[in-house]
Amino acid sequence: MERVIKIYELFFLLTLLGYSHNASSQNICPSGKSSGIYLSKEDFIKNRISSCVEQDKSNGLEQKLDEVILTRDGKKYKLAFGTFYGYYKDGSRYRAYSSGLKAVSYQGYYKIESDSNIFVYSKLVYTPKTNGRTWYYYSETLDSPMKRLTIKNMRKDFAGQPEYISAAKNFIKIQPNILVHRLQ
């Protein structure tokens, strides 16, 4: 049976399972199919993964919409949004993010696609009319607010840095299904 875990329960659970997120004993994820979580913003920025294990029938991590289900030693734990900063799965990092806006809310887990100069994220979004579309976002740092990846936003944020505008245009060109406003 799945259950929602609060942040203090999550720390306790990981302690019981023998996982630590101290820098001196940080977990190095095994190669191949592995998963783990980032308990805090600092852990995410420093890439300190807690509870990182190789995935098998008794250990795994799955995301269903905006829920994360962590399976350790055959037991499933439903992790509530906001109780951890992100997760690692199969070589990719995912950031938990909520814009806090009521009209157009960006809440969920975003996959880091690029981390050079600026951070580019993707998120698969399902609507009643589509089988899912990938939307792209960016942030200047791993802990700064995300914005939709559009030329208009890039021009506003990087007005004095044409190399960022050029990089965004190139990124948009190579993504066959990118949904952005191509405002010139």
pLDDT tier at 44 (50, 70, 90 boundaries)?
very high
Number of structural domains in the chain: 2
Tell me the pLDDT band of 136, cut-offs 50, 70 and 90. Answer: confident
Where is the domain boundary, 40, 64, 93?
93
Do 85 and 119 lie in one domain? The reply is no
3-state SS, residue 129: coil
Does one domain contain both 122 and 54? no
43 and 80, same domain (yes or no): yes
13 near 84, Cβ under 8 Å? Answer: no
Residue 181 lies in a domain: no
Which residues, 6 or more positions from 114, have their beta carbon under 8 angstroms from its beta carbon?
A: 120, 171
Residue 6 confidence (pLDDT) above 80: no
37, 84 Cβ separation under 8 angstroms: yes
pTM of the predicted protein model = 0.75
CA separation (Å) from 110 to 8, 9, 26, 56, 158?
24, 24, 23, 24, 22
Which residues constitute the domain of residue 164? 99-174
51 band by pLDDT with thresholds 50, 70 and 90: confident
Say if 87 falls within a structural domain: yes
Query: By mean pLDDT, which of 21-35, 71-85, 170-184 is the weakest?
Result: 170-184
Q: What is the mean pLDDT of residues 76-86?
A: 90
125-146 average pLDDT score:
85
**Cα–Cα dist 125/148, whole Å:** 13
- Which tens digits make up the pLDDT trace of 92-129? 999 999 877 655 556 889 999 988 778 889 988 877 77
Residue 133: which residues within 8 A CB-CB, separation 6 or more?
124, 125, 127, 177, 179
Sheet of 119-125, strands arranged across:
50-54, 34-38, 86-89, 92-98, 107-114, 119-125, 133-139, 147-148
The residue out of 93, 110, 141 marking a domain boundary is: 93
| 119 and 84 within one domain | no
What pLDDT score was predicted for residue 103? 53
CA 113 to chain centre: 10
Residue 89 has pLDDT above 70, yes or no: yes
Q: Are 73 and 113 in a shared domain?
A: no
65 close to 78: Cβ distance less than 8 angstroms = no
User: pLDDT digits over 28-37, tens only?
Assistant: 676 668 999 9
Q: What number is the average pLDDT over the span 65-90?
A: 90
Confidence tier at 60 by pLDDT (50, 70, 90): very high
161 and 131 within one domain = yes
Mean pLDDT in the chain? 76
